[in-house]
Amino acid sequence: MGFGTTGRLLGAAALLTAGCGSSSPSQPTPQPPTPPPAQVLTLSGAVTATNGGQALADVRVEAASVSSTTDGSGRYSLNLPAGTSNARFTISGSGIVTRTGFFANGPSRSVDLDAFALGAFDPQYFRAIARNGFEEPTVLQPVRRWTRGPMIYVRTVDDTGAAILPEVLQQVVALSSSLVPLYSGGRFGVAGFEQGTETRRNQAGWITVEWTRNATQFCGAAHVGQEGGAVTLTYDQPGCSCGSQKIRPRTVKHELGHAMGLWHSGQSVDLMSGLGASECDRNMTARELQYLEYIYRRPVGNTDPDNDPSSGALLMPIRVIN
């Protein structure tokens, strides 16, 4: 009897021991994972003057509600939220023309920017020669220019079907060959020439040179900075010829200026003045060539005062008659 009791006690102790051994140790309270550091898109670089190349200090660069002020070397740095895409930037400050544009999509990188520095830059002249501000100051045009070397088609007959003298055709070819590189700031030349009785109007990549004998309205006309546009020259007519020359070289140069993207400047000394001139020949002034370079420092579609488009602009054809 006593043995049985003892056995029951030992059994109970064994069960107690087994129960204690099977209990789990206390576990620490789970903690939320540590979030990774916030990701940023860093854009940095230098801001310089379009007209001169000098560093622009103490100007503000802003994009996606984040701003940076350039240091004495014109350096800026923006830490934008990760995933920021196609962000519009603004460059502003005293002594410059405010510029807006877009940062292209991409990773952190160096992006140099530029803006026009006032003092050595005349906004009114730029509006005239780049935006048609001389003749249409209330309807300013976006920047128009070629982005590649044009093909030039020279018609060999006029609007009556009469043949153009070979030496006149050669004059146009020679002038175009020398002026297209000049008018593009050395970026490209004529991609090729063709001659014939057809036309290349409205065909991308081409400028058509055509002839008329009707001098009642103009000595020349041209579409401004337009692929598929035309240059029209009045042939062998009083007031438009020059001595034995059937067309004035000045007229050819002027109309090619339009075809490459220039408007009338309103300055009497300029080739692109738009005020009329009687001399046989004239070249571009240094000022015209300088502002033409500024035009090529801006994308097609740039609007006043200095706003870049988010993508390539589609411009309606506009023809200027001189």
83-118 per-position pLDDT tens digit: 888 889 999 999 999 999 999 888 999 999 999 999
pLDDT tens sequence across 4-38: 544 444 444 444 444 444 555 566 677 776 655 55
Which residue, among 96, 128, 103, has the nearest Cα to 44 in the 3D structure? 103
Let me know if residue 300 belongs to a domain: yes
Phi, psi dihedral angles at 137 (to 5 degrees) = -65, -20
On whether the CB atoms of residues 209 and 152 are closer than 8 A, the answer is: yes
Residue 77: which of 101, 49, 112 has the closest Cα?
112
Backbone angles phi, psi at 12, to 5 degrees: -65, -40
Range of the domain at 196: 151-321
If we measure between CA atoms, which residue out of 205, 259, 194 comes closest to residue 232? 259
In a domain, 179, yes or no: yes
User: Does 107 map to a domain?
Assistant: yes
Task: Count the domains in the chain.
Answer: 2
Q: Show Cβ contacts of residue 28 under 8 Å, excluding neighbours closer than 6 positions.
A: none
Please tell me the distance from the alpha carbon of residue 282 to that of residue 28, in angstroms, as a whole number: 90
Cα–Cα nearest to 261, from 220, 233, 286, 291: 291
pLDDT digits (tens, 9 = 90+) for 233-288: 999 998 899 988 999 999 999 999 999 999 999 999 999 999 877 789 999 999 99
| Residue 229 near residue 192, CB atoms below 8 Å | no
Where residue 260 sits, what CATH number does that domain have? 3.40.390.10
If you ran DSSP here, which 8-state letter would residue 289 be given?
A: H
Residue 30 lies in a domain: no
For residue 250, the surrounding DSSP H or E stretch is: helix 249-260
pTM of the shown model? 0.85
Q: CB count, 10 Å around CB of 178?
A: 14
22 belongs to a structural domain:
no
Q: Are residues 51 and 94 in the same domain?
A: yes
| In the chain, % of residues over pLDDT 70 | 89
94, 213: one domain:
no
Between these two residues, 20 and 55, which has the higher pLDDT value?
55
Residue among 258, 276, 279 at smallest CA distance from 268? 276
Among 120, 143, 160, residue at a domain's last position? 120
Answer whether residue 187 shows pLDDT above 70. yes
Q: Which CATH number fits the domain that encloses residue 49? A: 2.60.40.1120
Which of 99, 120, 141 marks a domain boundary? 120
